[in-house]
């Protein structure tokens, strides 16, 4: 029976996706072992390192459908890793002992590392597709609400107006950077492994480097400059990348949760009958996806740290650190996929209430425009003097529950320099959005076609 969130019949599609789970499944992983083995046989047959008849026979049987997965489980538990059991079954499938040429000059970690890189490549393609969809959703929101005022918040308190488009564009810029990071790390991470026992390819007398180059060409992977059996920065970088992506997704989820608060009510996750309802309080509309995102990305960060722990590997072949990756990497990718999917659905269906955004700006009776007034008045009496005067009037507005504009207009030190029309303009949130629109446009220009 499934025992984890990722594989749970009930929870699995809330915390992961079928496509990502498939990539990290036993069948897919074993099929990638066979991809590496058949590519190796094909190259070595072509180079004359093994008989061509053996290469052809090996290639013919590298189909995961021909393998007994239960037998593979039993043998893996005994041996401690799955490659030797795969090779044993492959050998047995081949005629006339030709299977003895399978795995020629390779070591278990060569096959497993290279298969893992193939899984990473497929996984990154899924991640990139989701990031692209999230980028498009954020671009739509940034463009649509480019000039829609919303209160900016500093230390959980109302600060000054920004725009909802600006708020979305700040996150869009991060997603753009994540997609750049993904492209940059491909060249470093999508590199195969073929080094033999300690990485020196000593078991292949001639044609060792040609075999390595040919193998990577067959698989469409980069050729390693030197073995990386126990130098795992590439895998750790993959984990760190997922941790960074998860941080941005978590930021989105947190802001959505805060905006969905009853007292705020500025934006909501997409509505569906019964979604987010309480078992006892019919009026509630709880955030749902945001909670799953928060939980998933929190665990991804832990896995990213574990993958950095796995970098501390002994000598030329590690005695335990490598196995950390077996646990952490699949779960990190599966949880990241779930968080990406949930975020994608939230942003594509986000319900935005511009009227409530404006109403929330107005609840302080104009106090959030105090900086604008200070700067306008400061031109006449000095910024620091204006700061103290406006601060005093803000406290008075709070005590007496009066609009700041009325107190400003009635104060002689203010009205001497600024008439009511000027003060009204200074107190208008739409007039104090700075360069928000310009910045939104600059970010949008970095997502052409969206």
Report the alpha-carbon angle 209-211-214, nearest 5: 110
pLDDT tens for each residue of 22-51? 999 999 999 999 999 999 999 999 999 999
Q: Among all residues, which ones are annotated catalytic?
A: 278, 317
Report the alpha-carbon angle 161-166-170, nearest 5: 125
Residue 327 tokens, joined: 């646990």
Name the phi and psi angles at 407, rounded to 5. -70, -40
What average pLDDT score do residues 144-173 get? 97
Q: Report the alpha-carbon distance of residue 100 to residue 121 in Å, rounded.
A: 30
What average pLDDT score do residues 52-63 get? 97
Q: Is 412 exposed, middle or buried (0-12, 13-18, 19+ CB in 10 A)?
A: exposed
276, pLDDT greater than 70: no
What average pLDDT score do residues 80-96 get? 96
pLDDT tens for each residue of 357-415? 999 999 999 999 999 999 999 999 999 999 999 999 999 999 999 999 999 999 999 99
pLDDT at 334: 98
Domains of the chain, first to last? 13-106+194-221 (1.10.275.10), 125-187+228-361+433-450 (1.20.200.10), 367-426 (1.10.40.30)
Q: Which residue has the tokens 């393998």?
A: 67
pLDDT, the chain, mean: 96
pLDDT at 119: 98
What average pLDDT score do residues 98-127 get? 97
Residue 384 tokens, joined: 């620091």
Share above pLDDT 70 across residues of the chain, in percent, rounded to a whole number? 99
What average pLDDT score do residues 95-108 get? 96
277, pLDDT greater than 70: no
pLDDT at 308: 97
Task: State the maximum Cα–Cα separation within the chain, in Å, rounded to a whole number.
Answer: 105
Estimate the share of the chain in helix, then strand, then coil, as percent rounded to the nearest 5: 65, 5, 30
Classify 148 in phi/psi space as left (phi over 0), alpha (psi -120 to 50) or beta: beta
Q: Report the alpha-carbon distance of residue 87 to residue 90 in Å, rounded.
A: 5
């Amino acid at each position: 029976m499934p025992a984890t969130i990722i594989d749970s019949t009930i929870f699995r599609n809330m915390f992961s996706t079928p496509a990502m789970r498939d990539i990290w499944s036993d069948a897919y992983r074993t099929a990638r072992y066979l991809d590496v083995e058949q590519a190796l046989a094909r190259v070595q047959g072509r180079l004359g390192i093994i008989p061509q008849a053996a290469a052809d026979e090996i290639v013919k049987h590298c189909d995961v459908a021909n393998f007994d997965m239960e037998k593979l489980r039993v043998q893996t538990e005994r041996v401690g890793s799955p490659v030797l059991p795969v090779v044993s079954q492959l050998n047995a499938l081949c005629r006339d002992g030709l299977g003895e040429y399978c795995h020629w000059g390779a070591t278990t970690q060569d096959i497993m590392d290279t298969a893992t890189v193939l899984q990473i490549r497929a996984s990154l393609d899924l991640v990139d597709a989701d990031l692209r969809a999230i980028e498009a959703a954020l671009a739509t929101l940034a463009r649509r609400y480019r000039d829609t005022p919303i209160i900016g918040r500093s230390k959980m308190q109302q600060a000054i107006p920004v725009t909802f488009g600006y708020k979305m564009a700040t996150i869009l810029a991060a997603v753009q950077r994540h997609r750049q990071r993904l492209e940059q790390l491909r060249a470093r991470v999508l590199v195969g492994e073929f080094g033999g026992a300690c990485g020196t390819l000593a078991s292949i007398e001639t044609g060792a480097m040609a075999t390595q180059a040919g193998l990577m060409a067959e698989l469409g992977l980069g050729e390693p400059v030197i073995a990386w059996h126990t130098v795992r920065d590439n895998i750790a970088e993959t984990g760190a990348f997922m941790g960074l992506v998860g941080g941005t997704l978590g930021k989105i989820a947190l802001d959505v949760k805060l905006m969905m608060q009853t007292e705020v009510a500025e934006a909501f996750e997409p509505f569906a009958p019964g979604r987010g309802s309480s078992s006892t309080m019919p009026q509630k509309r709880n955030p749902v996806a945001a909670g799953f995102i928060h939980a998933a990305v929190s665990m991804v960060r832990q896995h990213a740290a574990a993958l950095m722990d796995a970098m501390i590997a002994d000598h030329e072949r590690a005695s335990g650190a490598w196995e950390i990756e077996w646990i952490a990497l699949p779960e990190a990718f599966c949880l990241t996929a779930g968080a990406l999917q949930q975020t994608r659905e939230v942003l594509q269906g986000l319900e935005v209430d511009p009227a409530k955004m404006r109403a929330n700006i107005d609840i302080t009776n104009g106090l959030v425009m105090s900086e604008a007034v200070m700067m306008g008045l400061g031109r006449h009496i000095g910024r620091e003097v204006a700061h103290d005067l406006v601060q005093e009037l803000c406290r008075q507005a709070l005590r007496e529950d009066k609009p700041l504009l009325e107190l400003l207009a009635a104060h002689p030190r203010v009205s001497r320099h600024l008439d009511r029309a000027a003060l009204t303009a200074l107190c208008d949130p739409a007039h104090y959005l700075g360069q928000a629109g310009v910045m939104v446009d600059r970010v949008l220009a970095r997502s052409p076609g969206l």
